[in-house]
Amino acid sequence: MSRPLVVIVSPALADANNGNWRTAQRWAELIAPRYAARITREWPDTPAPSDTLMLALHARRSASSIAAWAAAHPGCGLAVVLTGTDLYQDIARDPAAQRSLELAQRLVVLQECGADALPPAHRDKTRVIFQSTAQWPPLPKSSATLDAVMVGHLRAVKAPQTLFDAARRLGGRADIRITHIGDAAAEPELAAQARATQQDCPGYRWLGALPHDATLQAIRAAHLLVHTSSMEGGAHVIMEAVRCGTPVLASRVPGNVGMLGADYEGYFPAGDGAALARQLAACRQGQQEDPAGGLLAHLRAQCALRAPLFDPEHERAGLLSLLQELESDR
C-alpha cells in the first residue's frame, strides 16, 4: 500500500536555509517511513493531485495555499502551523491570517503558551508540537569568567538594545563576557550600535553572522545563552541551548515562557537591560560562591528537566499523532 502524501507548504525553501525551511525539511524526515512528504512554496502545483494532507507553515504567508486546499478538500486534511508573527501580530489584524484559522482542521503551536493567543473558539483544535534538535554535550568552561552568548540577527524584534544596555551596565567588569552572534544586514543602524557597544565595553564582542556549526560550538562553550526578543513563537536557539546543557536568561514573553516553563527562574522583563545585567551578575556571584548550588547551577537543572521536550522522538510522536487525527477526519 502506498504511503499517504503530505505536502508541507513553507514560505521559504532550501535557498533561504532559514527556520521555516529547516522545520519543513526536518518534518519531512521525521514522518517517514509512515508518510511520504514533499515541500513546496505554493499550492496547488503540478504534483498537487496526489497530495493527501497539508501542513502549512504560517497563517498569513501561506494563506493563498491554505485557501486553495480548503476549496479543493473542504473540511478535511489541513493543519496550519502558527509562528510568532502569526500568534502575536497577524491574527489580530490580518483578515487572511484570520481566515486561515477558520479553514484549518487543526492548528499547531510550537510552545505551550501559544494557544493562549488564539480566539477561544479555535483552542480545542490546537496542538502543541515542540521542535527538536540533537543533544550535544557541553564544552569545558572557565571558572575565571562568566561567558554568555546571544544568538540572533540584529533586528528590532530581537531587541538587541536590551543586550547593549546590559553590557554597558556591566562595562567595568572583566569577569563577565558577552559574545553576540548575528547578522545586521536588515537593520544596519543596529550594527552601528553593536560596534559602539563593543568599542566602549571590553566585555562585549559582536561577531556578526557565523555558520551554524560555529554558532553551536559557541553555545556549548558558554555558561549562559541570553535571549532578549520582544516576540517569539518558539525560538530554535533556546531549544539548542537547553539540549547542549547551557541554561538561558530570557525575556519574559509568552514564546519564551512556553519553551522554558512558567516556573523557570531565568527571566527578565522584556526590554529591561538593567534586570538582565542583574541576572548576569547574580549568575556570576553564584558561580564564585557556590558552583554546585548557585543560580547558574539552578538554571542548568531547570533546563535539564525541559530537555526531553525537545528530543526528536518527542517531536516525531507529536507529528504522527497530528497526521493520524487529520486522516481520521477524512
Dump pLDDT digits (tens) for 225-272.
999 999 988 899 999 999 999 999 999 999 999 999 999 999 999 999
Dump pLDDT digits (tens) for 41-81.
999 999 999 999 999 999 999 999 999 999 999 999 999 99
How many alpha carbons fall within 13 Å on the CB side of residue 271? 4
Dump pLDDT digits (tens) for 79-117.
999 988 899 999 999 999 999 999 999 999 999 999 999
State the sign of the Cα–Cα–Cα–Cα dihedral 60, 63, 64, 65.
positive
In DSSP terms, 37 is beta-bridged to 6
Dump pLDDT digits (tens) for 178-222.
999 999 888 999 999 999 999 999 999 999 999 999 999 999 999
Chain center to CA of 237: 6
Which domains, ranges and CATH numbers included, belong to the chain? 5-131+311-329 (3.40.50.2000), 146-309 (3.40.50.2000)
How many alpha carbons fall within 13 Å on the CB side of residue 183? 7
Question: What is the SS3 assignment for 37?
Answer: strand
State pTM to two decimals: 0.93
Q: Can you tell me which residue has the cell 514573553?
A: 253
Tell me phi and psi for residue 105, to 5 degrees.
-80, -30
Q: Which of 63, 15, 59, 60 is nearest to 39 (CA)?
A: 15
Q: Can you tell me which residue has the cell 537591560?
A: 273
